[in-house]
């Protein structure tokens, strides 16, 4: 991954979030306050502006700037969680060009940070349910010799499956947990958006 690919990833997330804004809002309206699509749209469109305006010296600088922008522009749970995840990933990628192994370590660091900040485990019906299997799949693909594009595709597939698997779960973290059993039968919006983030990486890497 190089600096241009990192930027293309952020642009791809922005495009996906713009396209899916309404759906993310509807998913969040069912289990939360309905702002997830709008939160992410505001955050990633600001992040695109910020990374286009800067002259980054590393892949990590692009991701760190994205994270900082998300933290400052997005309220609620997802801003700090996504923002800190991107910052944690950015910290691991201090070079103009990084290898798939480095990206794997960065994704692991992002997951670690989300778990640390939010305290959610897999099965709590949060973005962790998509991110954890995605990181596993990415690392496994790299381990067996896969390149970035292949590993990112495996991660995106695993994230989508993880997001689908949130439907029958009862939420144990975040706003949706206030619903108790009534959170059952709905997808977790943050898990769905996490799958969009990883699919955008796979698409950028495939170019």
Q: Interface with ligand ADP by CB under 6 A: which residues?
A: 28, 32-33, 35-36, 39, 76-78, 81, 114, 118-120, 126-128, 173-175, 188-191
Tokens found for residue 180 = 């108790």
In the list ligand ADP, Mg ion, none, the entry touching 100 (Cβ below 5 to 8 angstroms by class) is: none
Report the nearest approach of ligand ADP to the CB of residue 172 (Å): 9
Largest CA distance in the chain: 48
Can you read off the two tokens belonging to residue 28? 């969040």
Least Å from the CB of residue 35 to Mg ion: 4
The Cα 17–Cα 163 span in angstroms is 16
Residue 134 CB, nearest approach to ligand ADP (Å): 14
Spatial separation of the C-alpha atoms in residues 118 and 81, rounded to whole Å:
7
Contact 129, 162 (CB under 8 A): yes
Minimum CB distance to ligand ADP smaller for 98 or for 169: 169
Closer to Mg ion at the Cβ: 29 or 95?
29
Name the minimum Å distance from CB 3 to ligand ADP. 28
Among 5, 6, 16, 36, binds Mg ion (CB under 5 A): 36
Q: Which of 32, 83, 104, 133 binds Mg ion (CB under 5 A)?
A: 32
For the bound state, the minimum distance from the C-beta of residue 139 to ligand ADP, rounded and expressed in Å, comes to 20
Task: Point out which span in 16-24, 33-41, 110-118, 154-162 binds Mg ion (CB under 5 A).
Answer: 33-41
Question: What is the DSSP secondary-structure string of 89-149?
Answer: HHHT--SSB--HHHHHHHHHHHHHHHHHHH---TTSSSTHHHHHHHHHHHHHHHHTT--HH
For ligand ADP, give the closer residue by CB, 123 or 146: 123
47 within 8 A of 9, measured Cβ to Cβ:
no
Report the site for Mg ion in 60-89 (rule: CB under 5 A): 76
Angle (nearest 5°) at CA 134 between 175 and 203: 105
For the chain, give percent helix, strand, coil, nearest 5. Answer: 75, 0, 25
- What is the binding site for Mg ion (CB under 5 A)? 28, 32-33, 35-36, 76
């Amino acid at each position: 991954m190089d600096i241009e690919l990192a930027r293309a990833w952020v642009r791809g997330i922005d495009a996906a979030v713009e396209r899916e804004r309404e759906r993310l809002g509807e998913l969040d309206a069912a289990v939360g306050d309905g702002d997830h699509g709008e939160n992410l749209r505001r955050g990633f469109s600001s992040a695109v502006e910020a990374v286009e305006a800067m002259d980054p010296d590393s892949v990590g600088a692009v991701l760190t700037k994205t994270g900082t922008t998300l933290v400052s522009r997005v309220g609620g749970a997802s801003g700090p969680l996504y923002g800190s995840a991107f910052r944690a990933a950015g910290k691991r990628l201090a070079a103009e060009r990084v290898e798939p192994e480095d990206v794997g370590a960065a994704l692991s660091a992002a997951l670690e940070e989300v778990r640390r900040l939010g305290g959610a485990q897999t099965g709590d019906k949060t973005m962790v349910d998509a991110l954890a299997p995605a990181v596993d799949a990415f690392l496994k693909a790299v381990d067996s010799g896969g390149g970035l594009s292949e590993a990112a595709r495996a991660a995106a597939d695993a994230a989508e499956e993880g997001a689908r698997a949130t439907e029958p779960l009862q939420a144990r973290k975040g706003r949706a947990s206030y619903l108790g059993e009534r959170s059952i039968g709905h997808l977790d919006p943050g898990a769905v958006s996490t799958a969009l983030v990883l699919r955008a990486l796979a698409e950028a890497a495939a170019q």
